[in-house]
Amino acid sequence: MENNVQRIPLIGEKFPEMQVKTTQGVYSLPNDFEGKWLVLFSHPADFTPVCTTEFVAFQKRYDEFKKLNTELMGLSVDQVFSHIKWLDWIRENLDIEIQFPVIADDGSISRRLGFIHGNATNTVRAVFFIDPTGTVRAILYYPAELGRNFDEILRMIKAFQVADEHKVAMPANWPNNEIMGDEVIVPPAVTVAEAKERLKNKKYQCYDWWLCHKKLK
């Protein structure tokens, strides 16, 4: 691939630097969110029913995201005046004040980030999880007909922060895993001696040397 060919940022890569125009002014991404987590999400269009329910769901959880040092930012291929009018409609008719910024896009940002799929002109329901260093940690895609699970987005932010702080991995459905509940997975042993030691001591609970878990302190 030639160096001048752009592709979407992948998990583990730095989010590309860009300036975006939003309902709350111009932001420089990801630099303006340095030291914070950012959930950047696209919606297919303003004044659409599923997207309206999603914005309400995000706003209802906004305080929870902020407690996790996480900011929200929306995006669609609409201009600022459309975003403003739609957010006014939500406030006037649903009594919900959308407090996070929404990016206005002519399609160039969405194409750069892989938010437009196939021959469509509007975006899928994409979610980028960007950590405090500006690194992409996860990407989710949903089709237009399926609204997102916002409790899962919150769960993922919590899980990333626990994993980073304690250097552990999270089991399926954490914190309600079917075999280890709310405990976390210890990284596998990397030497023969360490593997043998895991089965002798009681530092962790182990099903085998490669599957050990523990409670968070």
Work out how many domains the chain is built from and give that number. 2
Is residue 55 a contact partner of residue 74, using CB atoms and an 8 Å limit?
yes
* Res. 3 pLDDT band, cuts 50 70 90: very low
**pTM as predicted:** 0.93
Tens-place pLDDT, residues 147-188: 999 999 999 999 999 999 999 999 999 999 999 999 999 998
5 inside domain: no
Q: Is 212 noted as a catalytic residue in this protein?
A: no
Pick from 156, 187, 205: which residue ends a domain?
156
61 inside domain: yes
Same domain, 73 and 150: yes
User: Which CATH number goes with the domain that contains 186?
Assistant: 3.30.1020.10
7 inside domain: no
77 inside domain: yes
pLDDT score of 5 more than 60: no
Beta strands in 94-216 (DSSP E): 102-104, 125-130, 136-142, 184-185, 205-208, 211-214
Active-site residue among 20, 51, 159, 186?
Answer: 51
Tens-place pLDDT, residues 82-132: 999 999 999 999 999 999 999 999 999 999 999 999 888 889 999 999 999
Same domain, 185 and 141: no
